[in-house]
Amino acid sequence: MPPANRPVVALIEDEPDLLAMSRAYLEREGFTVLSAPDARSGRTVLRGAPVDLVVLDLGLPDGNGLDLLRGVREDGGPPVIIVTGRGDEFDRVLGLELGADDYVVKPFSQRELAARIRAVLRRAAPRQDRPGDERPPVLRLGDLVVDTGARQVRTMGGPIAFTPREYALLEFLAATPGQTFSPGQLLGRLWDGADWQAPATVTEHVYRVRRKLLAAGVGAPRITTVRGFGYRLDVPADPDA
Ligand code: CA
């Protein structure tokens, strides 16, 4: 049994040297590490034990890691960081599209990987550090209910499944509706100021959140693009006000 305070990370990676290096580094950094060298045994690992986060190499010997990612996402599974080669931009974009929470590009430093894992876990973590008398707010905006305690977004039709990062983006905008933020500001607030992350990452996440709201039949609020500046969440004026 791993100690309860050590997050469990599953590394699905077919390069033995890289796997050994990552394992050693992450264990030293306080993580419990499970591993699998291909997609098939990766699925077995994920079914067999609770995992807090998956680091998934998209180039696996027995098929594309994207299929595995799709499976994890459909189950509402743990956050996923995808690993791709420098030339695999198409896979990287598709991976984010399928709901990966972040990515690293080979070759990466172990320190960078550990930092990304911590950042994703921080965003995914339930907020247990609040004082007991301060209930996390439930934001009601148009057709949406954003329950910041449960980290859940609901409509009349039920909850909408967002990845941790998509949720964080929507919650952030919902906290100050009508206020416009530049992609750089959003990167700084939601992506831990990682300046190498292109503003295109923000655009991509906004697009995904919009698409999910649309698919759930949400007419308002909606994320408005402010040309040349950024994004804001617009809520229609309350007719009763
Ligand atoms: Ca590989």
Distance 139 CA to ligand 1 centre (A): 43
Ligand 1 centroid – CA 111 distance (Å): 20
> Any residues with CB less than 8 A from the CB of 112 and at least 6 apart, and which?
104
Gap from CA of 98 to ligand 1 centroid (Å): 19
Token pair 């077919």 in the structure block, residue: 14
88 CA distance to ligand 1 centroid (A)? 12
Structure tokens at 30: 């306080």
Pairing of strands 32-36, 8-12: parallel
Ligand 1 centre distance from Cα of residue 226 (Å): 40
**Cα 33 to averaged position of ligand 1 atoms, centre (Å):** 18
Domains and CATH numbers, the chain: 8-124 (3.40.50.2300), 138-234 (1.10.10.10)
**Dist. CA 64–CA 81, nearest whole Å:** 15
37-61 mean pLDDT: 92
Distance 32 CA to ligand 1 centre (A): 22
* Pairing label, strands 32-36, 152-155: unpaired
How much distance in Å is there from the Cα of 95 to the middle of ligand 1? 15
In which band, very low, low, confident or very high, does the pLDDT at 134 lie, cut at 50, 70 and 90?
A: low
Say which residue, 125 or 19, is predicted with more confidence.
19
CA 60 / ligand 1 centre spacing (Å)? 5
Q: How far is the CA of 104 from the centre of ligand 1 (A)?
A: 13
CA 14 to CA 233: how far, in whole Å? 42
pLDDT at residue 129 is higher than 50: no
Please give the Cα distance from 66 to 180 (Å, whole number).
34
Separation of 2 CA from ligand 1 center, angstroms?
Answer: 27
Average model confidence (pLDDT) across the chain: 85
Contacts of 131 (CB under 8 A, 6+ apart): none
Distances from the Cα of 214 to the Cαs of 101, 163, 169, 179, 208, in angstroms? Answer: 21, 16, 16, 21, 10
Please report the pLDDT score of residue 2 as a whole number.
46
CA of 55 to the centre of ligand 1 (A): 12
Average pLDDT over residues 18-23: 96
Burial category of 142 from C-beta neighbours within 10 Å (exposed 0-12, middle 13-18, buried 19 and up): middle
Q: Which residues contact 58 (CB under 8 A, 6 or more apart)?
A: 64, 65, 66, 69, 82, 83, 84, 88, 91, 92, 95
Predicted TM-score (pTM) of this structure: 0.57
Whether the per-residue pLDDT at 226 is higher than 70: the answer is yes
Is it the case that residue 114 has pLDDT exceeding 50? yes
